[in-house]
Structure 1
């Protein structure tokens, strides 16, 4: 009997609360010696009367995001877009920056997203070439960008379910070359505080799923069958039309979210891939007229209905052909798909398994520019074997992505649960 992972996770799209897991002491970034923020004057869009915007560049390293000893900048009760501005008397050459978020587990929480802007002399514009904008508690969140010369640098925060705040901002003339969360290159070496909960999770999975090791269609199996790549097909379960531009944005967002899980593995415990290409090879739709493009960049499947929804060609799907052979796929083996992105109009929450992920089409399209499409990330975790945590929580950890509704991005605990699967299955692939 095939192992069918739990597919339903009632993850409300608006739930962005993040609970603190295991606090860690913040590491100073490389280049701390050329931190230019100390010489700037800090101002803000709004500051709670009992907080201080001067805290953001006072040079004090926080120990946790809920620092109750040192000064803090927060915007409670204001929400929406908020910012902190660093202003220098003369132009500075800037190449990177990092921020430490204020999160008191109450009225001030992590932002939904953030970005950096610089003053051109007439307007604020986003820095170009930004490497990423991570959002995590209890550490600095670093970003490298293309070099600019400016007298003003602005940190723009978009609030989630609460107000936002910062404990420290650092800006550098040099690039930040490493981050404190870079995983070890060999062996199994989780933080000491996570050893017990990780063991609890794996034991729970072994006891719950009788076919845990015999199952052969996890995301891991799909990835290695493809030589380090993944193919998707989109099931457009909606009456809405899709332009070529929207199609490309849907593809790009899927690739960015998948990359977040793959980045967890880079350099860890013999993981062989530095980059995992994700390609969308097809679309399934009820009516061809809904797809407003004429190019042949993807295969199109029309009115093949399965589960009351458009279905991508079953001869091309790994879920239906787990031998890895696709002799009857119309486009040939290169046009096979490992998973489906099933976008359903009016669908709440999400579902995920070896067949792919299902989420609401309106939710997904509305989140295309979000840093973390957290329902999709949660369901991708299921495709790689990660379990749900509806009725229990491992010892010593709080909010994390796979505990539905308690985190909006991959946390440290999620990352180590993901790596634990690789630890237990790597021999299957000769590692």
Structure 2
């Protein structure tokens, strides 16, 4: 999709001042669950087993915003499992139960099992059963390719909202792409260097934003639509954005001294033409009304990194913690998308209709642009054909997209002291 940005790759000349992380994230342990594939004994047709390792911390056991894994109407022993492509070293696990107060309740009991290579073996430990909290089990260090959570139902069916598998992060210190991708990756980087003369001088990539925040990202939603938004829809929009952004961050976990196990995303503001469109009265986000730029509502310029690339926000209402690094610009009737250092723009109807999709592929593509990834309208690197950043050829982040993304970190990490 074509990027509509007046500031991408060097049009803005201001050089940002960035705070370096005081130290890399702890190398000892990390949640390894997001890199696994989830499966289950049974999943209710309206639920999703992918919920158990999507990295979203539930607000409560009766979570009505994010995806859940539930087994109604099945009862008895049910299981959900994480499978990795290679053996992982694990030391503990944290499990958050799904309990809607009706057909799905916390289990009567549960246990963890590891795959030995030929059978499942129970992991000894103390197994608490609590709602509205993570239930932690610590065990002697094990190496396995599968971790299974076995739930025994009590008064109703059972389910899970999130599973964390805690172990060694296996952080890699170097650059080691698969051999078949070395040539196309070099072609891509050479093309970028020749096409964008200020590629290294530009200082507002997504990388810069995360590093300036010491491992987090803030968003503003530009609601460029006449439709109303309920509190429930607002929360679903926030959750869907966080899940999609996290897919790119998961590409970096443990790779080439990337310092963060997780990069939390927070929506700090909504911009709208008419306050009556937003059907909530809580103060969970700042609300900006009637501030029009590019014929669309926007959050305060004083709070936007695009407008304040020095990294300070002296005139932002609420202070620097209320600043936003990017905008999710949702425009009624828009087809396709646009992306750059300022954020991502796509159709509001498309996004709302995709809230429960595993991959909102237009948004994923545009987030790639925010981190510097290019379009491939007129050429294709040697030996690859179909990938997310080649619009229309893939609907999810592919191995080649992941390695292009990592290549940006390889070339820019020295500016942050790595």
Q: TM-score range by the shorter chain?
A: 0.5 to 0.7
Partners in 1 of 2:165 and 2:285 — Cα distance?
39
State the match for 2:259 in structure 1.
272
What do the CA deviations read for 1:222-266 (whole angstroms, capped 9, x no partner)? 110111110000000000000000000000001111100000000
Unaligned runs of 5+ residues in structure 2 are 1-5, 11-38, 42-75, 86-102, 111-144, 154-163
Structure 2 CA distance for partners of 1:183 and 1:382, relative to 1, 3 Å = farther
Q: How does 1:149-168 map to 2 (within 5 A)?
A: none
Partners in 2 of 1:221 and 1:97 — Cα distance?
33
What do the CA deviations read for 1:205-233 (whole angstroms, capped 9, x no partner)? 00000000000000000110111110000
1:360 aligns with one of 341, 347, 360: 347
Structure 2 CA distance for partners of 1:176 and 1:285, relative to 1, 3 Å = closer
Q: How does 1:142-291 map to 2 (within 5 A)?
A: 146-148=149-151, 185-291=172-278
What do the CA deviations read for 1:102-153 (whole angstroms, capped 9, x no partner)? xxxxxxxxxxxxxxxxxxxxx999x9x9xxxxxxxxxxxx996642469xxx
What do the CA deviations read for 1:35-64 (whole angstroms, capped 9, x no partner)? 999xxxxxxxxxxxxxxxxxxxxxxxxxxx
Task: Tell me whether 1:96 sits opposite 2:100 in the alignment.
Answer: no
Give the alignment's TM-score, normalised by structure 2: 0.64
1:96 deviates by 1.7
Q: How does 1:287-302 map to 2 (within 5 A)?
A: 287-302=274-289
1:94 deviates by 3.8
State the match for 1:58 in structure 2.
none
1:402 deviates by 0.3
1:3 deviates by 5.6
Task: Tell me whether 1:4 sits opposite 2:11 in the alignment.
Answer: no
Partners in 2 of 1:268 and 1:374 — Cα distance?
24
Kept in 1, the 8 Å contact 2:171–2:257? The answer is no
Alignment coverage as a number of residue pairs: 291
State the match for 1:410 in structure 2.
397
Give the alignment's TM-score, normalised by structure 1: 0.62
Partners in 2 of 1:329 and 1:176 — Cα distance?
39
Q: How does 1:382-393 map to 2 (within 5 A)?
A: 382-393=369-380
Kept in 1, the 8 Å contact 2:388–2:398? The answer is yes
Partners in 2 of 1:283 and 1:345 — Cα distance?
16
